[in-house]
């Protein structure tokens, strides 16, 4: 795979014309799709609000329109749908960007954002807070804090070990991930089976059901800043994927670059899972679909992955909140819907696959 990425990236650099023509179109199409889906999402829901009413309600925030709709409709649009829709896009984009960056950093297509134990840490943080307090705000803070702590521990351990820095980081991440998974199980064992245990289980399944606008803002800031930094340095991720020695030879400070990528990718993943719960699959697979569309060069791949992640999460969350009269945990659907689609793509993809 490494060699493939290298050669493909090299190809891109050699004949940039053909790819440069294609990529903006793909990005543009995805961007327009996201905007359209964003608008359509406001029309979907168990509570009937007609498209015309949605538009009126939005306009009434800017222009003085006398409301002809019940108060509760504004609650539905602004307190229930708006935070969920924004959260879905942000979380999807965050997980996909983090996944792409980690895959580039570790030069491995099987890497997902949880490689350094960030989601296991979040799971334990949430489970602990559910058992101890049960307050939604504390659950969110605890999930975020422990997630970051897990990455920090993995990193500290790997920096104390001699050898290939990438390999030691992965090993430390795996170990810390396993440790926090076990601690999560311990919390489940200790939880009251009537209410706390199902709450932990449901948290681990992931849901965008109860996201406040107020909770979303700090998360959104972290995610947007993190994604922006990764986007700014995305070209250098290519250099890292050529290998440690080659990158150093090209004058890149690999230690520093690696640190920036890890900090940003971990922060955005931690922020995302702290409000959504455990959501797998998106961070692993969106980069692959992006690669099918625009090739492995991170300069194009990273924005495309982020857009794909946002579109995918929004699509799935729309199903979660409208398909049944009850909520479906999103972590279940991301995989159930995503896996067949992904297998279909692999089958018909013209590119060689690892």
Partner 1 sequence: MKVKKIIFMLFTVVISASLLFFLSGCKGAQTTTVTNTTTKISTQTTTITDISTLTETITETVSGQPSTRTIVDDAGRSLVIPTTINKVLCCGPVECILTYMLAPEKLGGWCFLPNSTEGADYFDTQYADLPVVGGWYGKSTGNYETFISLEPDIILASDAATVEERQQFFGSIPVVSINVFDNYNTMPESILKMGDLLGVEEQAQKLVDFYEESVDYVTSVLTNVSEEDKVTVYYAEGDGGLSTDPSGSQHTELIDFCGGLNVAVVDDQTGFGMTSVSMEQILLWNPDIIIIGRAADATLYNQILSDPIWANLQAVKDGRVYLRPNNPFSWFDGPAGMNEIVGIYWMIQTLYPEQCADLDLKAKVQEFYLDFYHYNLTDADYEALMANTINTA
Q: Which residues bind partner 1 (CB under 8 A)?
A: 45-48, 71-72, 74-76, 79-80, 131, 134-137, 140-141, 144-145, 148, 152, 159, 189-199, 202, 207, 209-210, 212, 214-215, 217-218, 221-222, 253, 255-256, 259-260, 263, 267, 271, 321, 324-327
Residue 337 CB-half CA count within 13 A: 17
DSSP state of 107: T
Q: Cα(239)–Cα(244) distance, rounded to whole angstroms? A: 9
Q: How far is the CB of 319 from partner 1 (least distance, A)?
A: 12
8 Å CB contact between 238 and 298: yes
Q: Cα(149)–Cα(179) distance, rounded to whole angstroms? A: 13
| Structure tokens, 18 | 């053909």
8 Å CB contact between 210 and 139: no
| Structure tokens, 244 | 């440690």
8 Å CB contact between 278 and 206: yes
Q: How far is the CB of 192 from partner 1 (least distance, A)?
A: 4
Is 144 or 312 the residue whose CB approaches partner 1 more closely? 144
Is 300 or 321 the residue whose CB approaches partner 1 more closely? 321
Q: Cα(107)–Cα(164) distance, rounded to whole angstroms? A: 13
Q: How far is the CB of 157 from partner 1 (least distance, A)?
A: 14
Q: How far is the CB of 156 from partner 1 (least distance, A)?
A: 9
Is 47 or 353 the residue whose CB approaches partner 1 more closely? 47
Q: How far is the CB of 113 from partner 1 (least distance, A)?
A: 17
Q: Cα(272)–Cα(278) distance, rounded to whole angstroms? A: 9
8 Å CB contact between 228 and 306: no
Is 263 or 335 the residue whose CB approaches partner 1 more closely? 263
Is 30 or 279 the residue whose CB approaches partner 1 more closely? 279
Q: How far is the CB of 351 from partner 1 (least distance, A)?
A: 36
Q: How many CB atoms lie within 10 A of CB 353?
A: 11
Is 179 or 263 the residue whose CB approaches partner 1 more closely? 263
């Amino acid at each position: 795979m490494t060699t493939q990425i290298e050669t493909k990236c090299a190809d891109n650099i050699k004949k940039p014309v053909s790819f440069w023509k294609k990529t903006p179109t793909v990005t543009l199409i995805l961007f327009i799709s996201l905007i359209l889906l964003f608008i359509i999402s406001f029309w979907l829901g168990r509570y009937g609000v007609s498209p015309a009413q949605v538009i009126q309600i939005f306009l009434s925030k800017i222009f003085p329109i006398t409301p002809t709709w019940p108060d509760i409709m504004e609650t539905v649009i602004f307190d229930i749908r708006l935070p969920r829709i924004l959260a879905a896009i942000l979380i999807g984009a965050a997980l996909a960007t983090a996944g792409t960056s980690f895959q580039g950093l570790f030069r491995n297509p099987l890497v997902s954002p949880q490689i350094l134990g960030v989601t296991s840490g979040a799971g334990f943080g949430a489970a602990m807070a559910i058992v101890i307090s049960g307050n939604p705000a504390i659950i969110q803070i605890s999930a975020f804090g422990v997630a970051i702590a897990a990455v920090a521990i993995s990193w500290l351990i790997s920096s104390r070990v001699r050898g290939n820095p990438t390999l030691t980081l992965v090993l430390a991440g795996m170990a810390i991930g396993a440790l926090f998974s076990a601690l999560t199980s311990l919390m489940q064992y200790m939880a009251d089976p009537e209410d706390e245990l199902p709450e932990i289980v449901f948290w681990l399944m992931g849901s965008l059901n109860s996201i406040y606008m107020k909770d979303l803002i700090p998360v959104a800031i972290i995610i947007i800043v993190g994604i922006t930094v990764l986007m700014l340095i995305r070209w250098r991720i290519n250099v890292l994927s050529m290998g440690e020695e080659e990158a150093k030879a090209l004058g890149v400070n690999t230690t520093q670059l690696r640190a920036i990528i890890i900090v940003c990718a971990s922060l955005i993943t931690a922020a995302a899972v702290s409000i959504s719960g455990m959501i797998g699959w998106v961070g692993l697979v969106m980069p692959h679909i992006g690669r099918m569309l625009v090739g492995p060069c991170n300069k194009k791949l990273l924005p495309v992955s982020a857009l794909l992640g946002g579109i995918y999460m929004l699509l799935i969350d729309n199903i979660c909140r409208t398909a049944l009269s009850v909520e479906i945990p999103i972590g279940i659907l991301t995989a159930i819907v995503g896996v067949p689609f992904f297998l279909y793509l692999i089958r018909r993809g013209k590119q060689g696959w690892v």
